[in-house]
Amino acid sequence: MLMSTAAPAHTIDLQGAAALAADPPGAALRHLVRLVEAAIAAPIGELAERLDLAYAVAHADDSLVPAAARVAAPDRYARHLLHADAQGRFAILALAWGPGQFSPVHGHYTWCSYAVLDGRLSETTYDYDAASGLARPLGTEVLARGARRCEYAGLSAVHKLGNAEDNVALSLHIYGIDGARVATHVNRVVPSTQH
Ligand SMILES: [Fe+2]
């Protein structure tokens, strides 16, 4: 089991949960959900490869993310819930990043993955030093449409993600967590030597 039950340290508002029940999913989202269901049913070692196939669907059909889920918030990046697995095994979200909006430096309580759908995101990766409890930056990469990542729970993959550009960026995220807990049980915020 990859999901940790450790106490959450990072909370951010979740948008779209109410609309989720009202709006039936489109064909592209239904297709994506089926691929994710297949991915999590397969051996865990195949997760990244299988999610990569799922993200290929997302990149092939822009109708996957409706206009309402592409809207950025004025103060910080916006999380729009697109799908919550009925069994609580995973959640699919669209994140809209306004110019200059970044996540905190964080590891993850659960497996997580994402793909850039529109615009460009900057990702800084960190090496977490257990002795000092600090994350040290390793480098920053600019990710354009088509970039995909998949990481497991823990502090072996600490990063900060955000939008250093002038336009809104959009990314699709799939987390191994119940949709009701996605705002509190995904990001494991850690102190760093450089924010
Ligand atoms: Fe993350």
The per-residue pLDDT of the chain, averaged, comes to 87
The predicted structure's pLDDT at residue 6? 46
C-alpha 119/C-alpha 144 separation (Å) is: 6
C-alpha 82/C-alpha 78 separation (Å) is: 13
Alpha carbon 105 to its chain's center: 14
| Domains of the chain, start order | 2-189 (2.60.120.10)
C-alpha 54/C-alpha 107 separation (Å) is: 23
Calculate how far, in angstroms, residue 28's C-alpha sits from the geometric centre of ligand 1.
24
The pTM assigned to this predicted structure is 0.88
Q: Is the pLDDT of residue 191 over 80?
A: yes
Q: Is the pLDDT of residue 101 over 90?
A: yes
Q: What is the mean pLDDT of residues 103-120?
A: 95
pLDDT grade for 1, boundaries at 50, 70 and 90:
very low
Choice between 27 and 20, residue whose per-residue pLDDT is larger? 27
Q: What is the mean pLDDT of residues 139-156?
A: 94
Residue 79 to residues 9, 47, 98, 189: CA-CA distances in angstroms?
A: 17, 23, 12, 17
Calculate how far, in angstroms, residue 106's C-alpha sits from the geometric centre of ligand 1.
6
The predicted structure's pLDDT at residue 125? 97
Calculate how far, in angstroms, residue 137's C-alpha sits from the geometric centre of ligand 1.
15
Q: Is the pLDDT of residue 19 over 80?
A: no
The predicted structure's pLDDT at residue 92? 94
Q: Is the pLDDT of residue 13 over 80?
A: no
Calculate how far, in angstroms, residue 113's C-alpha sits from the geometric centre of ligand 1.
8
